[in-house]
Structure 1
Amino acid sequence: MPRLPSDLPPVTIVVLVVLAVALVLSEPVVGRAQYRHFLAEVADRGEPARLRHYARWIAQGWAWAVLVTGAVVVLPEVGLAELGLRRQDLNRPLTGLGITLSPSMLSGFAIGLVLGVVLLAVAVRRGRSQDPPNLEAVRPMLPTTRRGRWGWAGVSVTAGITEEILYRGLLVLVVTALAPDLPPGLLVLGLAVLFGLAHWYQGRAGMLSTGLAGALLTGLYLVTGSLLLPILVHCLIDLRALLIPSVVAPPTDDPEAVPASPGSRSVVPGHDPVST
Protein backbone atom coordinates (compact mmCIF):
# COMPACT_ATOMS: atom_id res chain seq x y z
CA MET A 1 0.00 0.00 0.00
CA PRO A 2 1.17 3.59 -0.56
CA ARG A 3 2.69 5.32 2.46
CA LEU A 4 0.00 7.88 3.26
CA PRO A 5 -0.16 10.18 6.31
CA SER A 6 -3.02 9.46 8.69
CA ASP A 7 -3.58 13.05 9.83
CA LEU A 8 -2.94 15.93 7.44
CA PRO A 9 -3.17 19.62 8.46
CA PRO A 10 -6.46 21.31 7.47
CA VAL A 11 -4.77 23.60 4.94
CA THR A 12 -3.25 20.61 3.15
CA ILE A 13 -6.55 18.75 3.03
CA VAL A 14 -8.45 21.81 1.77
CA VAL A 15 -6.00 22.53 -1.06
CA LEU A 16 -5.82 18.89 -2.17
CA VAL A 17 -9.59 18.50 -2.05
CA VAL A 18 -10.05 21.64 -4.16
CA LEU A 19 -7.62 20.28 -6.76
CA ALA A 20 -9.29 16.88 -6.78
CA VAL A 21 -12.81 18.30 -7.09
CA ALA A 22 -11.71 20.64 -9.89
CA LEU A 23 -10.20 17.70 -11.74
CA VAL A 24 -13.19 15.38 -11.31
CA LEU A 25 -15.79 18.01 -12.27
CA SER A 26 -13.92 19.66 -15.14
CA GLU A 27 -12.57 16.66 -17.03
CA PRO A 28 -15.89 15.25 -18.34
CA VAL A 29 -17.09 18.70 -19.49
CA VAL A 30 -13.77 19.90 -20.90
CA GLY A 31 -13.15 16.52 -22.49
CA ARG A 32 -16.47 16.56 -24.34
CA ALA A 33 -15.92 20.13 -25.56
CA GLN A 34 -12.40 19.30 -26.76
CA TYR A 35 -13.71 16.17 -28.46
CA ARG A 36 -16.15 18.17 -30.59
CA HIS A 37 -13.61 20.88 -31.35
CA PHE A 38 -11.00 18.32 -32.33
CA LEU A 39 -13.33 16.49 -34.75
CA ALA A 40 -14.35 19.74 -36.42
CA GLU A 41 -10.79 20.98 -36.90
CA VAL A 42 -9.36 17.68 -38.10
CA ALA A 43 -12.26 17.17 -40.52
CA ASP A 44 -11.46 20.61 -41.97
CA ARG A 45 -7.64 20.73 -41.87
CA GLY A 46 -6.46 17.14 -41.50
CA GLU A 47 -3.12 16.17 -39.99
CA PRO A 48 -1.82 19.70 -39.23
CA ALA A 49 -4.80 20.25 -36.92
CA ARG A 50 -4.19 16.84 -35.34
CA LEU A 51 -0.57 17.76 -34.61
CA ARG A 52 -1.61 21.07 -33.06
CA HIS A 53 -4.03 19.25 -30.79
CA TYR A 54 -1.33 16.76 -29.82
CA ALA A 55 0.87 19.67 -28.66
CA ARG A 56 -2.02 21.31 -26.83
CA TRP A 57 -2.95 18.12 -25.01
CA ILE A 58 0.63 17.46 -23.97
CA ALA A 59 0.89 20.98 -22.52
CA GLN A 60 -2.47 20.61 -20.78
CA GLY A 61 -1.55 17.30 -19.14
CA TRP A 62 1.78 18.57 -17.86
CA ALA A 63 0.21 21.79 -16.56
CA TRP A 64 -2.12 19.76 -14.35
CA ALA A 65 0.68 17.46 -13.19
CA VAL A 66 3.01 20.36 -12.35
CA LEU A 67 0.21 22.11 -10.42
CA VAL A 68 -0.50 19.02 -8.33
CA THR A 69 3.12 18.04 -7.69
CA GLY A 70 3.99 21.64 -6.85
CA ALA A 71 1.16 21.74 -4.33
CA VAL A 72 2.28 18.61 -2.49
CA VAL A 73 5.85 19.90 -2.39
CA VAL A 74 4.93 23.18 -0.69
CA LEU A 75 2.05 21.98 1.51
CA PRO A 76 2.91 20.89 5.07
CA GLU A 77 3.30 17.22 6.04
CA VAL A 78 2.91 15.85 2.53
CA GLY A 79 5.35 15.31 -0.31
CA LEU A 80 6.08 13.44 -3.52
CA ALA A 81 6.25 10.07 -1.72
CA GLU A 82 2.63 10.49 -0.58
CA LEU A 83 1.72 11.17 -4.22
CA GLY A 84 3.21 7.83 -5.20
CA LEU A 85 6.32 9.36 -6.77
CA ARG A 86 8.90 7.27 -5.01
CA ARG A 87 11.33 4.52 -5.91
CA GLN A 88 9.88 1.04 -6.03
CA ASP A 89 11.19 -1.09 -3.16
CA LEU A 90 12.11 -4.43 -4.72
CA ASN A 91 13.72 -5.85 -1.58
CA ARG A 92 10.54 -6.79 0.27
CA PRO A 93 7.22 -8.48 -0.54
CA LEU A 94 4.44 -6.07 -1.50
CA THR A 95 1.04 -6.50 0.11
CA GLY A 96 -2.24 -4.82 -0.73
CA LEU A 97 -5.84 -5.69 -1.63
CA GLY A 98 -5.30 -9.06 0.00
CA ILE A 99 -2.49 -9.83 -2.47
CA THR A 100 1.14 -10.51 -1.61
CA LEU A 101 3.52 -9.87 -4.48
CA SER A 102 7.12 -11.03 -4.12
CA PRO A 103 9.96 -9.05 -5.74
CA SER A 104 10.47 -11.86 -8.27
CA MET A 105 6.75 -11.85 -9.16
CA LEU A 106 6.81 -8.09 -9.64
CA SER A 107 9.89 -8.31 -11.87
CA GLY A 108 8.30 -11.15 -13.83
CA PHE A 109 5.13 -9.12 -14.36
CA ALA A 110 7.07 -6.14 -15.71
CA ILE A 111 9.23 -8.32 -17.99
CA GLY A 112 6.17 -10.22 -19.22
CA LEU A 113 4.38 -6.96 -19.98
CA VAL A 114 7.24 -5.63 -22.09
CA LEU A 115 7.67 -9.01 -23.81
CA GLY A 116 3.97 -9.08 -24.65
CA VAL A 117 4.21 -5.70 -26.37
CA VAL A 118 7.28 -6.88 -28.33
CA LEU A 119 5.46 -10.04 -29.46
CA LEU A 120 2.46 -7.95 -30.51
CA ALA A 121 4.75 -5.73 -32.56
CA VAL A 122 6.23 -8.81 -34.27
CA ALA A 123 2.74 -10.15 -35.00
CA VAL A 124 1.75 -6.82 -36.55
CA ARG A 125 4.89 -6.73 -38.68
CA ARG A 126 4.13 -10.21 -39.99
CA GLY A 127 0.52 -9.37 -40.74
CA ARG A 128 -0.88 -11.69 -38.07
CA SER A 129 -2.68 -9.05 -36.06
CA GLN A 130 -5.98 -7.39 -36.90
CA ASP A 131 -7.33 -3.97 -36.06
CA PRO A 132 -9.02 -3.96 -32.64
CA PRO A 133 -12.83 -4.00 -32.76
CA ASN A 134 -13.09 -0.55 -31.11
CA LEU A 135 -10.91 1.13 -33.75
CA GLU A 136 -13.79 3.20 -35.09
CA ALA A 137 -13.96 5.09 -31.80
CA VAL A 138 -10.29 6.08 -31.91
CA ARG A 139 -9.51 6.30 -35.63
CA PRO A 140 -9.80 10.12 -35.88
CA MET A 141 -7.09 10.47 -33.21
CA LEU A 142 -4.58 8.23 -34.94
CA PRO A 143 -1.69 9.84 -36.84
CA THR A 144 -1.49 9.62 -40.62
CA THR A 145 2.15 10.70 -41.07
CA ARG A 146 5.51 9.72 -39.61
CA ARG A 147 5.69 13.04 -37.79
CA GLY A 148 2.25 12.36 -36.38
CA ARG A 149 3.43 9.04 -34.97
CA TRP A 150 6.04 10.88 -32.91
CA GLY A 151 3.35 13.30 -31.75
CA TRP A 152 1.12 10.43 -30.73
CA ALA A 153 3.98 8.87 -28.79
CA GLY A 154 4.38 12.15 -26.90
CA VAL A 155 0.66 12.24 -26.09
CA SER A 156 0.74 8.62 -24.92
CA VAL A 157 3.74 9.05 -22.62
CA THR A 158 2.30 12.30 -21.27
CA ALA A 159 -1.03 10.63 -20.51
CA GLY A 160 0.72 7.67 -18.90
CA ILE A 161 2.66 9.88 -16.51
CA THR A 162 0.28 12.74 -15.80
CA GLU A 163 -2.94 10.73 -15.49
CA GLU A 164 -1.31 8.41 -12.98
CA ILE A 165 -0.22 11.41 -10.91
CA LEU A 166 -3.75 12.83 -11.05
CA TYR A 167 -6.13 9.88 -11.03
CA ARG A 168 -4.09 7.52 -8.88
CA GLY A 169 -1.66 9.67 -6.88
CA LEU A 170 -3.85 12.69 -6.09
CA LEU A 171 -7.23 10.97 -5.80
CA VAL A 172 -5.95 8.09 -3.65
CA LEU A 173 -4.27 10.61 -1.35
CA VAL A 174 -7.43 12.73 -1.04
CA VAL A 175 -9.87 9.85 -0.56
CA THR A 176 -7.71 8.13 2.05
CA ALA A 177 -7.21 11.44 3.89
CA LEU A 178 -10.99 11.99 4.06
CA ALA A 179 -11.96 8.34 4.63
CA PRO A 180 -8.95 6.49 6.08
CA ASP A 181 -11.05 3.42 6.96
CA LEU A 182 -12.52 2.98 3.48
CA PRO A 183 -12.01 -0.64 2.34
CA PRO A 184 -9.47 -0.88 -0.52
CA GLY A 185 -12.02 -2.59 -2.76
CA LEU A 186 -14.40 0.37 -2.48
CA LEU A 187 -11.50 2.74 -3.13
CA VAL A 188 -10.64 0.90 -6.34
CA LEU A 189 -14.30 0.86 -7.42
CA GLY A 190 -14.87 4.53 -6.65
CA LEU A 191 -11.79 5.72 -8.51
CA ALA A 192 -12.65 3.44 -11.44
CA VAL A 193 -16.03 5.16 -11.70
CA LEU A 194 -14.43 8.62 -11.61
CA PHE A 195 -11.89 7.63 -14.26
CA GLY A 196 -14.67 6.26 -16.44
CA LEU A 197 -16.73 9.43 -16.04
CA ALA A 198 -13.75 11.48 -17.19
CA HIS A 199 -14.24 9.70 -20.53
CA TRP A 200 -17.94 10.55 -20.79
CA TYR A 201 -17.46 11.74 -24.37
CA GLN A 202 -16.67 8.16 -25.42
CA GLY A 203 -20.14 6.91 -24.49
CA ARG A 204 -21.06 3.96 -22.31
CA ALA A 205 -18.62 1.51 -23.86
CA GLY A 206 -15.74 3.97 -23.52
CA MET A 207 -16.57 4.77 -19.91
CA LEU A 208 -16.74 1.07 -19.11
CA SER A 209 -13.39 0.26 -20.71
CA THR A 210 -11.65 3.24 -19.11
CA GLY A 211 -13.18 2.37 -15.76
CA LEU A 212 -11.83 -1.18 -15.98
CA ALA A 213 -8.39 0.10 -16.93
CA GLY A 214 -8.55 2.58 -14.05
CA ALA A 215 -9.39 -0.24 -11.63
CA LEU A 216 -6.38 -2.23 -12.84
CA LEU A 217 -4.03 0.73 -12.50
CA THR A 218 -5.37 1.69 -9.06
CA GLY A 219 -4.93 -1.90 -7.94
CA LEU A 220 -1.32 -1.91 -9.15
CA TYR A 221 -0.68 1.30 -7.24
CA LEU A 222 -2.20 0.01 -4.02
CA VAL A 223 -0.27 -3.25 -4.22
CA THR A 224 3.12 -1.79 -5.16
CA GLY A 225 2.88 1.49 -3.23
CA SER A 226 4.48 3.36 -6.13
CA LEU A 227 3.26 4.91 -9.37
CA LEU A 228 6.22 3.58 -11.33
CA LEU A 229 4.60 0.32 -12.50
CA PRO A 230 1.18 1.89 -13.19
CA ILE A 231 2.92 4.58 -15.26
CA LEU A 232 4.77 1.93 -17.28
CA VAL A 233 1.58 -0.05 -17.90
CA HIS A 234 -0.39 3.09 -18.78
CA CYS A 235 2.23 4.27 -21.29
CA LEU A 236 2.38 0.87 -22.97
CA ILE A 237 -1.42 0.71 -23.23
CA ASP A 238 -1.55 4.07 -24.99
CA LEU A 239 1.50 3.44 -27.18
CA ARG A 240 -0.19 0.24 -28.35
CA ALA A 241 -2.10 2.36 -30.87
CA LEU A 242 1.10 2.64 -32.90
CA LEU A 243 0.92 -1.14 -33.41
CA ILE A 244 -2.50 -1.06 -35.04
CA PRO A 245 -1.87 -2.52 -38.53
CA SER A 246 -3.39 0.42 -40.38
CA VAL A 247 -1.08 2.82 -38.49
CA VAL A 248 2.16 0.82 -38.44
CA ALA A 249 3.54 2.44 -41.61
CA PRO A 250 1.95 5.82 -42.36
CA PRO A 251 2.15 6.17 -46.14
CA THR A 252 3.32 9.75 -46.29
CA ASP A 253 4.95 12.66 -44.53
CA ASP A 254 2.53 15.03 -46.23
CA PRO A 255 1.14 17.21 -43.40
CA GLU A 256 -2.18 17.47 -45.22
CA ALA A 257 -2.73 13.72 -45.28
CA VAL A 258 -5.99 11.98 -44.47
CA PRO A 259 -8.42 14.35 -42.82
CA ALA A 260 -10.84 12.59 -40.49
CA SER A 261 -14.51 12.16 -41.16
CA PRO A 262 -16.60 14.60 -39.09
CA GLY A 263 -18.99 11.80 -38.23
CA SER A 264 -16.32 9.62 -36.64
CA ARG A 265 -16.01 9.20 -32.92
CA SER A 266 -12.79 10.12 -31.20
CA VAL A 267 -10.95 10.26 -27.96
CA VAL A 268 -9.74 13.30 -26.16
CA PRO A 269 -6.14 14.07 -25.25
CA GLY A 270 -4.82 13.49 -21.88
CA HIS A 271 -6.90 10.32 -21.59
CA ASP A 272 -6.16 6.75 -22.57
CA PRO A 273 -6.89 6.98 -26.27
CA VAL A 274 -6.82 3.32 -27.21
CA SER A 275 -7.51 1.14 -24.24
CA THR A 276 -9.50 3.55 -22.16
Structure 2
Amino acid sequence: MTRWTAFAGLTGVVLILLLGLARLSAAQFSSTPQLDRRERVGGDGDGDEDLRWGPEDAAPAAPSRYQSVSGTDSSLSTPERSPVAAAETRATMSPGALLANVALSQGLFGAMLVAAAVWADVPAAALGLVPVATATDVALGVGLGVALWLASEAAGRIAEWAGVEVNEALRGALAPDTAVGWAVLLLAVLPIVALFEEFLFRAALVGALSAGFDAPAWLPATVVGTDPWPWVLAGGSSVTFALGHGAQGRAGIVATGLLGFVLAGAFVLTDSFALVAVAHYVVNALTLVVHEFDLAALGVRR
Protein backbone atom coordinates (compact mmCIF):
# COMPACT_ATOMS: atom_id res chain seq x y z
CA MET A 1 0.00 0.00 0.00
CA THR A 2 2.93 2.35 0.67
CA ARG A 3 4.07 2.12 -2.94
CA TRP A 4 0.51 2.58 -4.20
CA THR A 5 0.30 5.75 -2.10
CA ALA A 6 3.62 6.97 -3.46
CA PHE A 7 2.40 6.33 -7.02
CA ALA A 8 -0.80 8.24 -6.32
CA GLY A 9 1.23 11.10 -4.87
CA LEU A 10 3.54 11.29 -7.89
CA THR A 11 0.51 11.19 -10.18
CA GLY A 12 -0.86 14.16 -8.27
CA VAL A 13 2.43 16.03 -8.65
CA VAL A 14 2.48 15.42 -12.42
CA LEU A 15 -1.13 16.56 -12.63
CA ILE A 16 -0.38 19.78 -10.75
CA LEU A 17 2.62 20.49 -12.98
CA LEU A 18 0.53 19.86 -16.08
CA LEU A 19 -2.25 22.16 -14.87
CA GLY A 20 0.34 24.83 -14.11
CA LEU A 21 1.71 24.61 -17.64
CA ALA A 22 -1.86 24.72 -18.93
CA ARG A 23 -2.47 28.00 -17.09
CA LEU A 24 0.65 29.48 -18.65
CA SER A 25 -0.51 28.37 -22.09
CA ALA A 26 -3.96 29.79 -21.49
CA ALA A 27 -2.47 33.14 -20.50
CA GLN A 28 -0.27 33.22 -23.59
CA PHE A 29 -2.89 32.21 -26.14
CA SER A 30 -5.86 34.06 -24.66
CA SER A 31 -4.51 37.21 -26.33
CA THR A 32 -3.29 35.52 -29.52
CA PRO A 33 -6.40 34.42 -31.41
CA GLN A 34 -5.76 32.94 -34.84
CA LEU A 35 -7.72 32.53 -38.02
CA ASP A 36 -8.29 29.20 -39.70
CA ARG A 37 -5.33 28.37 -41.91
CA ARG A 38 -7.50 28.49 -45.02
CA GLU A 39 -8.43 32.09 -44.11
CA ARG A 40 -4.77 33.00 -43.61
CA VAL A 41 -3.57 31.75 -46.99
CA GLY A 42 -3.74 34.50 -49.59
CA GLY A 43 -2.55 34.97 -53.17
CA ASP A 44 -2.69 32.38 -55.90
CA GLY A 45 -2.01 29.39 -53.67
CA ASP A 46 1.65 28.97 -54.58
CA GLY A 47 2.62 28.96 -50.92
CA ASP A 48 4.85 32.05 -51.17
CA GLU A 49 2.61 34.29 -49.09
CA ASP A 50 3.22 35.10 -45.45
CA LEU A 51 0.86 32.83 -43.52
CA ARG A 52 1.29 34.56 -40.18
CA TRP A 53 0.23 38.14 -40.67
CA GLY A 54 -0.51 40.10 -37.53
CA PRO A 55 -2.64 43.06 -36.50
CA GLU A 56 0.08 45.40 -37.70
CA ASP A 57 -0.46 44.26 -41.29
CA ALA A 58 -3.03 46.20 -43.27
CA ALA A 59 -4.61 43.10 -44.88
CA PRO A 60 -3.84 39.59 -46.09
CA ALA A 61 -1.89 39.24 -49.32
CA ALA A 62 -5.04 38.71 -51.38
CA PRO A 63 -8.72 39.63 -50.98
CA SER A 64 -10.54 37.53 -48.44
CA ARG A 65 -14.23 37.09 -47.84
CA TYR A 66 -14.08 40.05 -45.48
CA GLN A 67 -12.70 42.49 -48.05
CA SER A 68 -14.42 44.57 -50.71
CA VAL A 69 -14.98 42.68 -53.96
CA SER A 70 -15.32 45.69 -56.22
CA GLY A 71 -13.20 48.06 -54.23
CA THR A 72 -16.00 50.65 -54.23
CA ASP A 73 -18.83 49.10 -52.24
CA SER A 74 -18.20 50.26 -48.71
CA SER A 75 -20.72 47.77 -47.34
CA LEU A 76 -18.38 44.95 -48.31
CA SER A 77 -15.17 46.53 -47.11
CA THR A 78 -13.00 44.95 -44.49
CA PRO A 79 -14.65 45.31 -41.07
CA GLU A 80 -12.68 46.25 -38.03
CA ARG A 81 -11.09 43.07 -36.74
CA SER A 82 -12.44 41.70 -33.49
CA PRO A 83 -9.96 40.27 -30.99
CA VAL A 84 -10.90 36.69 -31.90
CA ALA A 85 -12.47 36.36 -35.31
CA ALA A 86 -10.47 38.78 -37.45
CA ALA A 87 -6.98 39.22 -36.05
CA GLU A 88 -3.94 37.11 -35.37
CA THR A 89 -1.01 38.01 -33.19
CA ARG A 90 2.29 36.50 -34.14
CA ALA A 91 3.06 33.47 -32.00
CA THR A 92 5.98 33.88 -29.65
CA MET A 93 7.20 30.38 -30.57
CA SER A 94 7.54 28.87 -34.02
CA PRO A 95 5.42 25.77 -34.76
CA GLY A 96 8.56 23.60 -34.66
CA ALA A 97 9.64 24.92 -31.27
CA LEU A 98 6.12 24.57 -29.89
CA LEU A 99 5.84 20.98 -31.13
CA ALA A 100 9.20 20.12 -29.61
CA ASN A 101 8.16 21.69 -26.31
CA VAL A 102 4.91 19.70 -26.23
CA ALA A 103 6.61 16.43 -27.15
CA LEU A 104 9.45 16.82 -24.65
CA SER A 105 7.33 17.98 -21.72
CA GLN A 106 4.59 15.38 -22.13
CA GLY A 107 7.10 12.68 -23.01
CA LEU A 108 9.05 13.43 -19.82
CA PHE A 109 5.91 13.42 -17.68
CA GLY A 110 4.79 10.17 -19.30
CA ALA A 111 8.15 8.50 -18.66
CA MET A 112 7.96 9.55 -15.00
CA LEU A 113 4.50 8.00 -14.61
CA VAL A 114 5.46 4.75 -16.34
CA ALA A 115 8.59 4.43 -14.19
CA ALA A 116 6.53 5.10 -11.06
CA ALA A 117 3.93 2.50 -12.08
CA VAL A 118 6.67 -0.10 -12.59
CA TRP A 119 8.30 0.77 -9.25
CA ALA A 120 4.96 0.59 -7.42
CA ASP A 121 4.09 -2.75 -9.03
CA VAL A 122 0.81 -1.39 -10.37
CA PRO A 123 -0.82 -4.34 -12.17
CA ALA A 124 -0.86 -3.96 -15.94
CA ALA A 125 -4.52 -4.97 -15.92
CA ALA A 126 -5.38 -1.97 -13.72
CA LEU A 127 -3.82 0.28 -16.35
CA GLY A 128 -5.77 -1.32 -19.18
CA LEU A 129 -2.69 -3.03 -20.61
CA VAL A 130 -3.85 -6.67 -20.57
CA PRO A 131 -3.67 -7.33 -23.43
CA VAL A 132 -1.63 -4.38 -24.58
CA ALA A 133 -3.70 -3.98 -27.74
CA THR A 134 -5.89 -6.04 -30.03
CA ALA A 135 -7.19 -5.40 -33.52
CA THR A 136 -10.65 -4.98 -32.01
CA ASP A 137 -9.37 -2.33 -29.59
CA VAL A 138 -7.78 -0.39 -32.43
CA ALA A 139 -10.86 -0.63 -34.64
CA LEU A 140 -13.19 0.43 -31.84
CA GLY A 141 -10.80 3.25 -30.93
CA VAL A 142 -10.85 4.57 -34.50
CA GLY A 143 -14.65 4.39 -34.58
CA LEU A 144 -14.99 6.13 -31.22
CA GLY A 145 -12.50 8.80 -32.26
CA VAL A 146 -14.36 9.57 -35.48
CA ALA A 147 -17.68 9.72 -33.59
CA LEU A 148 -16.23 12.09 -30.98
CA TRP A 149 -14.72 14.29 -33.68
CA LEU A 150 -18.06 14.53 -35.50
CA ALA A 151 -19.76 15.42 -32.22
CA SER A 152 -17.10 18.04 -31.54
CA GLU A 153 -17.57 19.57 -34.99
CA ALA A 154 -21.32 19.70 -34.50
CA ALA A 155 -20.88 21.34 -31.09
CA GLY A 156 -18.51 23.87 -32.63
CA ARG A 157 -21.07 24.78 -35.30
CA ILE A 158 -23.73 25.21 -32.63
CA ALA A 159 -21.40 27.37 -30.54
CA GLU A 160 -20.61 29.51 -33.59
CA TRP A 161 -24.32 29.88 -34.36
CA ALA A 162 -24.96 30.88 -30.75
CA GLY A 163 -22.18 33.46 -30.83
CA VAL A 164 -19.95 31.59 -28.38
CA GLU A 165 -16.32 32.09 -29.33
CA VAL A 166 -13.81 29.25 -28.94
CA ASN A 167 -10.15 30.17 -28.70
CA GLU A 168 -8.37 28.20 -31.42
CA ALA A 169 -5.04 30.02 -31.17
CA LEU A 170 -3.18 27.02 -29.79
CA ARG A 171 -4.48 24.78 -32.58
CA GLY A 172 -3.32 27.26 -35.18
CA ALA A 173 0.07 27.68 -33.53
CA LEU A 174 0.64 23.91 -33.54
CA ALA A 175 -0.03 23.63 -37.28
CA PRO A 176 3.28 23.22 -39.18
CA ASP A 177 4.11 25.03 -42.40
CA THR A 178 6.08 22.18 -44.01
CA ALA A 179 5.42 18.59 -45.03
CA VAL A 180 8.14 17.39 -42.66
CA GLY A 181 6.51 19.32 -39.84
CA TRP A 182 3.18 17.63 -40.53
CA ALA A 183 4.87 14.22 -40.54
CA VAL A 184 6.47 14.96 -37.16
CA LEU A 185 3.16 16.23 -35.80
CA LEU A 186 1.08 13.25 -36.94
CA LEU A 187 3.64 10.49 -36.39
CA ALA A 188 5.43 11.66 -33.24
CA VAL A 189 3.89 14.58 -31.34
CA LEU A 190 0.21 13.60 -31.43
CA PRO A 191 0.91 9.95 -30.48
CA ILE A 192 2.98 11.17 -27.51
CA VAL A 193 0.18 13.52 -26.45
CA ALA A 194 -2.48 10.82 -26.74
CA LEU A 195 -0.42 8.19 -24.91
CA PHE A 196 0.59 10.52 -22.08
CA GLU A 197 -2.82 12.09 -21.49
CA GLU A 198 -4.62 8.75 -21.59
CA PHE A 199 -2.08 7.19 -19.25
CA LEU A 200 -2.48 10.05 -16.78
CA PHE A 201 -6.20 10.84 -16.98
CA ARG A 202 -7.57 7.36 -17.63
CA ALA A 203 -5.05 4.63 -16.76
CA ALA A 204 -3.58 6.27 -13.63
CA LEU A 205 -6.36 8.47 -12.27
CA VAL A 206 -9.14 5.97 -13.01
CA GLY A 207 -7.72 2.47 -13.44
CA ALA A 208 -4.86 2.49 -10.94
CA LEU A 209 -6.63 4.47 -8.22
CA SER A 210 -9.81 2.40 -8.43
CA ALA A 211 -7.76 -0.81 -8.18
CA GLY A 212 -5.39 0.35 -5.45
CA PHE A 213 -7.72 2.20 -3.09
CA ASP A 214 -11.04 1.30 -1.56
CA ALA A 215 -14.10 3.35 -2.39
CA PRO A 216 -15.06 6.06 0.14
CA ALA A 217 -17.52 4.98 2.83
CA TRP A 218 -20.19 7.37 1.55
CA LEU A 219 -20.45 5.53 -1.75
CA PRO A 220 -23.02 2.71 -1.98
CA ALA A 221 -21.64 -0.74 -2.60
CA THR A 222 -23.18 -0.97 -6.06
CA VAL A 223 -25.20 1.18 -8.40
CA VAL A 224 -27.38 -0.88 -10.76
CA GLY A 225 -24.94 -3.73 -10.37
CA THR A 226 -21.86 -1.62 -11.15
CA ASP A 227 -19.07 -0.51 -8.85
CA PRO A 228 -19.51 3.28 -8.65
CA TRP A 229 -15.94 4.04 -7.55
CA PRO A 230 -14.39 3.97 -11.07
CA TRP A 231 -17.17 6.24 -12.31
CA VAL A 232 -16.54 8.76 -9.54
CA LEU A 233 -12.86 8.76 -10.48
CA ALA A 234 -13.85 9.09 -14.15
CA GLY A 235 -15.82 12.21 -13.33
CA GLY A 236 -12.99 13.73 -11.32
CA SER A 237 -10.38 12.95 -13.96
CA SER A 238 -12.59 14.50 -16.64
CA VAL A 239 -12.79 17.75 -14.67
CA THR A 240 -9.00 17.94 -14.40
CA PHE A 241 -8.70 16.92 -18.07
CA ALA A 242 -10.93 19.87 -18.98
CA LEU A 243 -8.95 22.30 -16.81
CA GLY A 244 -5.76 21.10 -18.49
CA HIS A 245 -7.11 22.49 -21.78
CA GLY A 246 -7.81 25.99 -20.53
CA ALA A 247 -6.09 27.53 -23.56
CA GLN A 248 -9.18 26.60 -25.59
CA GLY A 249 -11.40 29.02 -23.67
CA ARG A 250 -14.49 28.33 -21.58
CA ALA A 251 -16.43 26.66 -24.37
CA GLY A 252 -13.40 24.51 -25.16
CA ILE A 253 -13.05 23.52 -21.51
CA VAL A 254 -16.66 22.32 -21.38
CA ALA A 255 -16.34 20.40 -24.64
CA THR A 256 -13.05 18.84 -23.54
CA GLY A 257 -14.55 17.80 -20.21
CA LEU A 258 -17.41 16.01 -21.95
CA LEU A 259 -15.00 14.33 -24.35
CA GLY A 260 -12.83 13.28 -21.42
CA PHE A 261 -15.76 11.71 -19.61
CA VAL A 262 -16.71 9.69 -22.70
CA LEU A 263 -13.13 8.44 -22.96
CA ALA A 264 -13.08 7.65 -19.24
CA GLY A 265 -16.37 5.79 -19.58
CA ALA A 266 -14.99 3.79 -22.49
CA PHE A 267 -11.96 2.91 -20.36
CA VAL A 268 -14.12 1.77 -17.44
CA LEU A 269 -16.34 -0.34 -19.68
CA THR A 270 -13.60 -1.95 -21.79
CA ASP A 271 -10.50 -1.91 -19.54
CA SER A 272 -8.55 -1.04 -22.68
CA PHE A 273 -5.88 1.64 -22.67
CA ALA A 274 -5.23 1.09 -26.38
CA LEU A 275 -8.84 1.84 -27.31
CA VAL A 276 -8.97 5.24 -25.61
CA ALA A 277 -5.44 6.19 -26.73
CA VAL A 278 -6.33 5.50 -30.37
CA ALA A 279 -9.61 7.41 -30.04
CA HIS A 280 -7.78 10.39 -28.50
CA TYR A 281 -5.24 10.41 -31.32
CA VAL A 282 -7.93 10.24 -34.00
CA VAL A 283 -9.83 13.21 -32.53
CA ASN A 284 -6.70 15.37 -32.37
CA ALA A 285 -5.43 14.33 -35.81
CA LEU A 286 -8.74 14.91 -37.56
CA THR A 287 -9.20 18.29 -35.90
CA LEU A 288 -5.80 19.55 -37.00
CA VAL A 289 -5.85 18.08 -40.49
CA VAL A 290 -9.38 19.22 -41.34
CA HIS A 291 -8.98 22.77 -40.02
CA GLU A 292 -5.29 23.54 -40.51
CA PHE A 293 -3.84 21.41 -43.31
CA ASP A 294 -3.64 23.16 -46.66
CA LEU A 295 -1.52 22.19 -49.66
CA ALA A 296 -0.98 25.84 -50.52
CA ALA A 297 0.68 26.34 -47.16
CA LEU A 298 3.18 23.62 -48.09
CA GLY A 299 3.93 25.08 -51.50
CA VAL A 300 2.08 22.32 -53.36
CA ARG A 301 -0.06 23.27 -56.32
CA ARG A 302 -3.43 21.57 -56.58
Q: Is structure 2 residue 168 aligned with structure 1 residue 177? A: no
Could you say which residue in structure 2 is the equivalent of 1:52? 97
> Aligned-pair distance for 1:45?
7.5
Where do 1:120-199 residues align within 5 Å?
134=166, 136-137=168-169, 138-153=171-186, 154-172=188-206, 173-180=208-215, 183=228, 184-199=230-245
Cα pair distance change 1:48/1:164, threshold 3 Å: same
Counterpart of 1:81 in structure 2 is 125
Q: Is the 8 A contact 1:196 1:207 kept in 2?
A: yes
Q: Distance in 1 between matches of 2:93 and 2:183?
A: 13
8 Å Cα contact 1:144-1:252 kept in structure 2? yes
1:32 maps to 23
Residues 144 and 216 of structure 1: CA distance in aligned 2, closer, same or farther (over 3 Å)? same
CA contact (8 A) 2:202 2:264 kept: yes
Deviations 1:6-35 (A, max 9, x none): xxx22x122112112212322222122245
Offset of 1:58 from its aligned partner?
0.7
- Aligned counterpart, 1:262: none
The structure, 1 or 2, with the larger RCO (C-alpha pairs under 8 Å, 6+ apart) is 1
Structure 2 counterparts to residues 1-276 of structure 1, below 5 A? 9-10=1-2, 12-36=3-27, 49-76=94-121, 78-87=122-131, 109-110=140-141, 112-113=143-144, 134=166, 136-137=168-169, 138-153=171-186, 154-172=188-206, 173-180=208-215, 183=228, 184-252=230-298
Aligned-pair distance for 1:47?
10
Using the alignment, how far apart are the partners of 1:114 and 1:70 within structure 2? 28
Q: How many residue pairs get matched?
A: 217
CA contact (8 A) 2:102 2:189 kept: yes
Q: Work out whether residues 47 and 143 of structure 1, in 8 Å CA contact, stay in contact via their aligned partners in 2.
A: no
TM-score of the two chains, using structure 2 as the length reference: 0.60
Unaligned runs of 5+ in 2: 33-51, 55-88, 151-156, 161-165, 220-227
Root-mean-square deviation (Å): 3.6
Q: Aligned residue for 1:97? A: none
Q: Which amino acid aligns with 1:177?
A: G
Offset at residue 185 of structure 1 (A): 3.2
- Determine if contact 1:188/1:219 at 8 Å carries over to the other structure: yes
Cα drift, residue 234 of structure 1: 0.5
8 Å Cα contact 2:138/2:275 also seen in 1: no
Deviation at residue 144 of structure 1 after TM alignment: 2.7
Higher alpha-carbon Rg: 2
Query: Judging changes above 3 Å, is the alpha-carbon distance between structure 1 residues 18 and 216 closer, same or farther for their aligned structure 2 residues?
Result: same
